[in-house]
A and B are shown apart, each in its own frame.
Chain A
Amino acid sequence: MNSNSNNNSQYHLIDIFVKKVLAHLDEQDPNKLMNFLQLFQSSKNMPPSPTVSKVVYNSMPFADPSIFLTMWSQQVVQTQHIISALDFHVIPTGASNTIICNVNCKVRFDESGRDKMGQDSVIPMGPSGAKRMNNNRPLWGSYFGVSLQLCLDDRIFRNDINGVITSLNYKIVYKPEDSLIKIN
């Protein structure tokens, strides 16, 4: 298997993989967290793992991908990512190759005031006042711009996605002033 040649299926696989990562970020159900964690080398899913994947979010490093993913699923409202640019290089690094992906996307947040579990901050008023509208449709705000770098193991070309992300660097590069979401 020659993973060094730039063939059609490579572009395709990278494209699909990056979109899969973005879809994981947009996942609303915290129970599906393990599916995402599986893509990283983490002390949580590979106990004797010699190295853990690096995650840097808005210039904040995380000691373990599982910490980042837990934070993401519990403390960040629902998101919607749309990819707008993708480029990658396959770097020969000895035994296996490393793929570096440079991704640009836009992201918007659910500004309805509810978290991923559908809970809001409104204090219920009286015993009957607690009733809320059961409409959990997200209210999408304006788009933020994101620059994302992914380092991947070239095992993804051999249909192995377990722990292939060696580093993920996510940075918001522009922000709309009319968003309710504050990033600084």
Chain B
Amino acid sequence: MMMAHNVNNINTMAQQQMNDNRVRVSVRGWQKGTVQDLLNFVSKNTRISIQDANVEGPLLIGYVNTRDDANRLLKWNGARFAGSSLKFEILDQGGSTSNTVVFLRSCLFKRYDAQNKMLNLSALHSDPELVSKGLFSSLSTQSKLFAAMLKLASKEPQLIVESVNLSDNQFKDVTAVTTLAQTFPKLKNLCLANNQISKFRSLEIWKNKFRELRELLMTNNPIVNENLYRTEMIRLFPKLVILDNVVVRDTAKLDSIYNLPVKIQQFFFESNDLGPSSTDFVTNFLNVWDGDRSQLLGLYTPQSQFSISVDSTIPPTTVRDADTAPSFGHYLSQSRNICKLSSDKSIKQRLAMGPEAINELFKTIPKTKHHLQDRAHDYSMEALAFPALNGFVITLHGFFEETGKPESDKKGNQTNSKHRRYNHGHSAPSSFKLGTKSFDRTWIIIPMNNTVIVASDMLTIRAYSCGAWIPDEQITPPVNSNVGQTPPPVNNGQPPVISSVNATPLGVHHMPQQPQQPIQLAPTLQLPPDVQMNMNNIQLELLNKLHLETKLNAEYTYMLAEQSGWNYENAVKSFQSSVNNIPREAFVPF
């Protein structure tokens, strides 16, 4: 963890990692041009660069960055260069253990069909290459071989596998491939045909594992003759639709049972103008909140109310990035969680009314940093009109980092003496540790003379977890906060003023830009490689976002983006205005 402080180390490691992944390739039949001409030709046409090139006899030998690049290069065999045709080859490196790994890896890639997202591991025992390497000398090596190949597969993010073929492997049970469930938990199709599996018990190990498995092929296994075969397979795989080429579940019914009828969205604004104004409000409010909270007090009237409540529920460990050991020490003494309080007196005391009391309560909770601008995906918001007061109810869900201890304790004690006061054995100092928290905050605001009044402000603090509204392809790792050790300096600059015109709104208009990272496109957005290669990350990200928003297929998404001058907002507008005229085939079948 400490290594992260040294940027040079990371670069060195990244370099090392890159070198480790490099693949040695050779080119034949290039002699009618110069080496430089050849390299230019290759890079221009294939968009792959061959590095550290050397001439060895009739061959030009060099390196490409990934196995993928190398495989793509092979497809250019026969390309005409300076009057003769080129021949590309992948050269395996020397070394003993790593040699086996390199060899298995190349077997794995040979058996992977990217077009169909299928990994074909059928009949490994009769694979001439594997046999010649002596990898089938005994049953235990066979077992190890599958385990090794699956392990290698799990380390290759570019292997997107929806189907696995394990037919003709002489399996008596699935022991050799149990780890398939860890390697590909979202597998959709599995073929185990032509094996000797005979007992249900051997498959029991996969119960509750392949939760997305749609099709299973087990023909030519003794097990299919068992009376309870169909019932058992249906029980083991809850989303199984096709068993041995026979439909066993009604897809429409299955989908309606396991999919909520409403897909979760990041935002809801009751009217169009409510979007920009409420995003402006929360952005500005939280900027000031993170800087100097006392500057917010002008928004609260003597009738305004503020309270905090702690939801100490620990999210299940299967929630992404869930903090399963959260510390709420700084909040508990102020928490107005009515479910947990038995004394009416504290319920009354913990409601702050009027700027003075609110300010006191503000000071009792840790200093914070919200990330509305740089991590807009992690926030979700709803804004509704509140006609009774001509105002709005705005609810924001998201996370913040705790960057410093509270300014003061509610009871006027020193932060240190507080430990003693509440330390009854269970409330160790670790419960005052600073970290990252998730929150839900609801404001009732009333616009007034170019500014707003906060009539009500309720804040729930809970353990950090990844937001449910974030689609898988947009998930970024959580902020690594070691704030306890090194609190970053609190922003002393002039905090922005509420309702300032030049505030940056978050969310809908905000395009997160991470040019350093390769863009992960949605699996349903299938751009032709030559189109994709000619686009920059910002364009790709825009396409991806547009695709997710409109559900248009790659061709139409591209057309829409191009016609709108690569402007997301314009594209969405023009999509919305013409959605009824777009042909059905323009949409991907989701």
Do residues A121 and B249 form an inter-chain contact, with CB atoms below 8 A? yes
Chain B 305-316 near chain A by CB (<8 Å), digits 1 or 0: 101111111011
Give the chain B neighbours of A121 by CB distance below 8 A.
249-251, 253-254, 257
Is residue A46 within 8 Å, beta carbon to beta carbon, of the partner chain? no
In the complex, A89→B351 CA distance in Å? 9
With both beta carbons as reference points, the residue of chain B lying nearest to A115 in the complex is identified as B257
Any chain B CB within 8 A of the CB of A1? no
Known: A57-B262, A59-B268. A120 touches B384 (CB 8 A): no
Q: How far is the CB of A51 from chain B (nearest CB, A)?
A: 8
List A contacts of B531 (CB < 8 A): none
Known: A149-B393, A174-B319, A184-B263. A61 touches B268 (CB 8 A): yes
When distances are taken between beta carbons in the complex, the residues of chain B under 8 Å from A71 are: 261-262
The answer to whether B339 touches A125 (Cβ under 8 A) is no
Is A91 among interface residues, defined by CB-CB distance under 8 A? yes
Q: Does B466 contact A (CB under 8 A)?
A: yes
Write the nearest CB–CB distance from B73 to chain A, whole angstroms: 37
**CA A8 to CA B496, docked complex, whole Å:** 41
Complex interface bits, B235-256 against A, C-beta within 8 A gives 1, otherwise 0: 0001100000001111101101
Q: How far is the CB of B287 from chain A (nearest CB, A)?
A: 23
Q: Give the size of the chain B interface in residues (CB under 8 angstroms).
A: 75
| Residue with the highest number of chain A CB atoms closer than 10 Å, among B211, B247, B262 | B262
Tally the A-B contacts, defined by beta carbons under 8 Å: 219
Q: How far is the CA of A171 from the CA of B208 in the complex (A)?
A: 27
Confirm or deny: A167 has a beta carbon within 8 angstroms of a beta carbon on chain B.
Answer: yes
The reply to whether the CB of A34 lies closer than 8 angstroms to some CB of chain B is no
Chain A residues with CB below 8 A from B165, complex form:
none
**Which residues from A are CB-within-8-Å of B263?**
58, 60, 183-184
Interface of B is mostly: mixed
From B249, B267, B384, B468, A167 is in contact (CB under 8 Å) with B384
Q: In the complex the two chains form, is B309's CB within 8 Å of A175's CB?
A: no
Contact of A86 with B337 in the complex, beta carbons under 8 Å: yes
Whether a CB of chain A sits under 8 angstroms from the CB of B469 is yes
CB of A84 within 8 A of CB of B339, answer: yes
Q: Does A182 reach chain B (CB closer than 8 Å)?
A: yes
Quick check: A147 and B393 within 8 Å, CB to CB? Answer: no
Residues of A within 8 A of B397 (CB): 147, 171, 173
Q: Given contacts A84-B339, A145-B315, are A178 and B386 in contact (CB under 8 A)?
A: no
Chain A contact residue count (CB 8 A cutoff): 66
Contacts of A113 in B (CB 8 A): 238, 254, 257-258
A81 interface hit (Cβ, 8 Å)? no
Contact in complex: A89, B393 (CB < 8 Å): no
Instruction: Say how far B305's CB is from chain A's closest CB, in angstroms.
Output: 5
Residues on B with beta carbons closer than 8 Å to the beta carbon of A102: 309, 440, 442, 458, 460
- Chosen A-B contacts, 9 in total, with CB atoms closer than 8 Å, are A56-B382, A60-B265, A71-B261, A71-B262, A122-B250, A169-B395, A174-B322, A174-B466, A179-B318
**Chain B residues in the interface with A (C-beta under 8 A):** 208, 211, 230, 234, 238-239, 247-251, 253-254, 256-268, 270, 303, 305, 307-313, 315-316, 318-320, 322, 336-340, 344, 347-348, 351, 380, 382, 384, 386, 388-389, 393, 395, 397, 438, 440, 442, 444, 455-456, 458, 460, 462, 465-469, 471
By Cβ-Cβ distance, the 3 closest A-B pairs, closest first, are A121-B253, A59-B265, A85-B311
